[in-house]
Amino acid sequence: MLAAYGDAALQMWRTEDARRAFEDAAALNSRFPYASVQLANTLAARREHAQARTILEALLAEQPEYAPARIALGRLLGRMDRFEEAVRVLEASTVQPDHEADARLALAEVHMAAGRASDAVASAQIAASSRPDARSFATLSRAFLAAGEPARAETAARTGLEHDARSDAALLALASALDTRNHREEAVREAERALAANPYSVEALETAGRLALDGDDAERCVEFWQKALELNPWNAELHLQLGLVLGRRLDRWEAARDHLVRYAELGQQHAQES
């Protein structure tokens, strides 16, 4: 499952436009660090990790206390499976009060990716205490779910929705918690609400597709996942899963082949960078 990465305003289907805009802004004003961070986030979304890392490390060499760059670098290192490096980078930002919540949420994501669910819960709990909003509680919900505590995950997601009833992150966290608790119809309803709140959410499309597949509707699953890949064609795992559904479930192996080949290509790129 994909987590939110970088600025929420950065939409996957506009990465090329975003890249050009942030490149122009960074070139026009080298003292505008926000543009450089967003350029790095855009490149990372396109799996251009090496270039993104170069930009962030150069920025931090000039402005070592600029927390948004450090947090973006920590997230990037986590995506590259450099978990210990990511933790060290992010912990350096937790001491800055204005950025502690963002750093703790990024730490929670890294810990979940590394399979350290209890550490993820601890980081997300601190973030939710520091900044009790829908995003913090959505991350806490996913951390509880990773730790095998679906009831607490549901409670955290519902708390997030009390702060923002239209938060697609909290709605998706609730859908996943309900699904794990075998409340399938409710889970589908919450996933649909998340898509209504943000029709361009890759994670919402992924979740809706998974729930459709669990309900034995492979065709509907394919529709959701194909749209997700139109928005984010760099999602290797989703290429694999879609290829398997097309081949094994629908016997459409010619269509499956392209996705399986793309999965192998992206996996090779990731291995080289890691």
Full set of structural domains in the chain with CATH: 1-131 (1.25.40.10)
Read off the pTM: 0.86
- Spell out the residues 6+ positions from residue 26 whose beta carbon is closer than 8 angstroms to its own: 32, 35, 36, 39
- For residue 205, the model assigns a pLDDT of 97
- Please state the rounded mean pLDDT for residues 31-60: 90
DSSP-assigned letter for residue 20: H
Predicted confidence (pLDDT) per residue in 93-143, tens digit: 999 999 999 999 999 999 999 999 999 999 999 999 999 999 999 999 999
Distance CA 112, CA 7 (A): 20
- For residue 267, the model assigns a pLDDT of 83
What percent of the chain lies above the pLDDT cut of 70? 86
DSSP-assigned letter for residue 96: S
Using an 8 Å Cβ cutoff, are 200 and 187 in contact?
no
- For residue 60, the model assigns a pLDDT of 95
DSSP-assigned letter for residue 250: T
- For residue 24, the model assigns a pLDDT of 55
> What's the mean per-residue pLDDT of the chain?
90
Q: Which of 39-43, 124-128, 253-257 has the lowest mean pLDDT?
A: 39-43
